[in-house]
Structure 1
Amino acid sequence: MSSLPSWIRQHLAALRALLVLTVLLGLAYPLAILAIAQIPGLKDNADGSFVTNAAGQRVGSSLIGQSFTDADGNALPVYFQSRPSAAGDGYDPTSTSASNLGPEDVVDSIDDPATPDEDERGQSLLTQVCARSLAIGEREGVDGSRKYCTASGVGAVLAVHHAGPGFDGAATRVVSVNEACPTTPFLATYQGVAVDCRTPDDDIAAGERILVRGDAPDRPAVPADAVTASGSGLDPHISPAYADLQIPRIARERDLSEAEVRDLVEEHGTGRALGFIGEPNVNVVELNLDLDRATAAP
């Protein structure tokens, strides 16, 4: 070996290191971790925490949420509903993501008649929250109104144009930015000026943005997690408050007493980790599977 050129010795040393590291890190280490993962108590989580239905068929994971809707996206009334998801078409583990919309996203995009082949409509985060809250309120028989939302379920936002430079002087024109014409605006007048519906030609950015609080209660009947997606878009949990809101509907649709449904909810609820980390929650995937086991599957 000593008679070999130095560059060959260097390559052979590198090859030996590659082989040793491949065996250690590419084979021995993964196999050791796999063996540890099969220890009772760890095996279920390592294998994916799969869940099965009443027929014993694997139908998902307790760690990944699901949408309990029909082919048109309408909520199935016999199931507890999950929180919204921005992951792909909803709870897609290959597209886990948040919506990336923030609290200042309050202006919708409207369609321009000049480009009939293009759908330019887009809901702001505020309108998404308003629309979801209204729909949930109607489904659960509670007041779905929220602050800064119109009665029709869009963001209550005005663009107020002033006589002076910037936002100085009296208001000269007011536009309801999330109500495209010919919709009748949620307010008739603002500061004595008639409120107009929005047209594609309106320069919304030139007006002072005003959010109108409305007369909704300070504490909405529909919880926040019912109208906002989680950061991953895969969260299988809802808050106890959202679960409680749905209990009367589930009991009615399943022909169960509310006490029976509440017992199932409590079985699938968890408290704060170590008593102080995080928030209490209810696993909707497991809860709905137990509902199917407790009653005839719809």
Structure 2
Amino acid sequence: MRLPTWLAQHLAALRALLVFTALLGLAYPLALVAVGRIPGLADKADGSLVTSGGQTVGSTLLGQSFTDADGNPVPRYFQSRPSAAGDGYDPTATSASNLGPEDIVDTHATEPAESTPSLLTQVCQRSKAVGELNGVDGRRPYCTPDGVGAVLAVFRRDGLTGPVVRVISVNQVAPATPFLAAYQGVPVELARPGVDYIADGGLVTPIRGDAPAAPAVPADAVTASASGLDPHISPAYARIQVARVARERGADPAAVRRLVAEHTTGRALGFMGSPGVNVLNLNLALDREFPAP
């Protein structure tokens, strides 16, 4: 007896569903699990977890913060780069800040908790803090001495042309001191919360300042990675932390530099990416060789 066409089509679809469910829903996942159990791959499949004293302390593939309960850096440890993943290095919220190089004007709301710092101000704040922590020059171009973006809203008499009639330091609010006393002879004012000076016709004018062209604080110390989970820092960022870590642990700086070199990896395949220092592995090595007093 020949089945009706509609029923034959439904049975064929059901058979295909069962076959592909068995192949892709069972056989394929189980095959990948079996491959992950192969010696040499098992550790990576489990997340490359790192243990110390019998306890899991992290993963070589995921960054983490080395801060105290208040979020302040612990001086005896090398510090990781910033993270925009959740509250920091949250693997369930991996992300970048999605802020670009033109994000240079802060949003000052009447409620301080609703204010939003620009990418430029975030970089300036981080550079200042890293410089103070490690005893190096934290100045950067286009940053004010108090650690915000050095940006003016310049108002001219005829809009885009004519003499300057008013100047606002858009990223500074009271009780700050304007980073410039005057611009083209016009006194610089502080911004007022809730006012959009750019929408009001102010011309965005970044001021470079006198910071060195090559800042002492490297870029990875002030910017997050695309994933927010990068476990590495650059050798340059590690170098500026050596003196602090050695002092806090009562160690010879040369010995700390040796550990940094031992935990520095080269470019992938010799030409891709940049050398990096795994912060977790380096800090564990420090704890073994130079326990904190």
Range class of TM-score, shorter chain: over 0.9
Equivalent of 1:95, from 93, 96, 101?
Answer: 93
- Tell whether 2:267 aligns with 1:272: yes
Q: What does the per-residue CA deviation read over 1:66-116, in whole Å, with 9 as the maximum and x for residues that have no partner?
A: 01111111000011000000000000000000001111111111132xxx5
Q: 1:153 to 1:198 in 2, by over 3 A?
A: same
Correspondence 1:219 to 2:218? no
Query: Could you say which residue in structure 2 is the equivalent of 1:293?
Result: 288
Matched position secondary structure for 1:173:
strand
Counterpart for residue 142 of structure 1: 136
In 2, Cα distance between equivalents of 1:107 and 1:3 = 74
1:122 and 2:116 equivalent? yes
In structure 1, the partner of 2:41 is 42
Deviation at 1:249, TM superposition (A): 0.8
Deviations 1:215-258 (A, max 9, x none): 11000000000000001000001000000110111111112111
2:75 maps to 77
Q: Which residue of structure 2 lines up, in the alignment, with residue 233 of structure 1?
A: 228
Q: How many residues align?
A: 291
Q: Is the 8 A contact 1:145 1:220 kept in 2?
A: yes
Distance 1:43 1:196, change over 3 A: same
Q: In the TM superposition, what is the alpha-carbon distance from 1:188 to its structure 2 partner? A: 0.5
Partner deviation per Cα, 1:92-146 (whole Å, 9 max, x = no partner): 000000001111111111132xxx5x73221111111111111111111111000
Which residues of structure 1 form unaligned runs of 5+?
none
Distance 1:295 1:91 in 2: 26
Q: In the alignment, what sits opposite 1:58?
A: 56
- Structure 2 distance, partners of 1:196, 1:5, is 84
Q: Provide the rounded CA distance (Å) in 1 between the counterparts of 2:109 and 2:101.
A: 23
Which residue in the other structure is 2:19 paired with?
20
**In the alignment, is the contact (CA less than 8 A) between 2:248 and 2:292 conserved in 1?**
no
CA contact (8 A) 1:174 1:195 kept: yes
Letter of the structure 1 residue corresponding to residue 41 of structure 2: L
Moved more, 9-18 or 168-177: 9-18
- C-alpha displacement at 1:3, in angstroms? 4.0
SS class of match (2:114): coil
- Decide whether the 8 Å contact of 1:50 with 1:60 is kept in 2: yes
Q: Give the residue type in structure 2 aligned to 1:61.
A: S
Secondary structure of the equivalent of 1:204?
coil
The DSSP-based 3-state class of the residue aligned with 1:119 is helix
Q: Amino acid of the residue matched to residue 43 of structure 2? A: D
Deviates more, 1:273-282 or 1:85-94: 273-282
Q: Any conservation in 1 of the 2:121–2:149 contact (CA below 8 Å)?
A: yes
Indicate yes or no: 2:191 matched with 1:198: yes
Superposed displacement of residue 194, structure 1? 0.6
Q: Which amino acid aligns with 2:83?
A: S
The equivalent of 1:106 in structure 2 is 104
**In the aligned structure 2, how far is the partner of 1:32 from the partner of 1:201?**
58
Normalised TM-score (structure 2): 0.95
Distance 1:182 1:38 in 2: 61
Return 5+ residue gaps in structure 2 as ranges. Answer: none
* 2:125 alignment partner in structure 1: 131
Letter in 2 for 1:225: D
Contact 1:154 1:178 in 2 (8 A): yes
Which residue number corresponds to residue 186 of structure 1?
179
- Please tell me whether the aligned partners of residues 167 and 207 of structure 1 are also in contact (alpha carbons under 8 angstroms): no
Q: Give the corresponding residue for 1:9.
A: 8
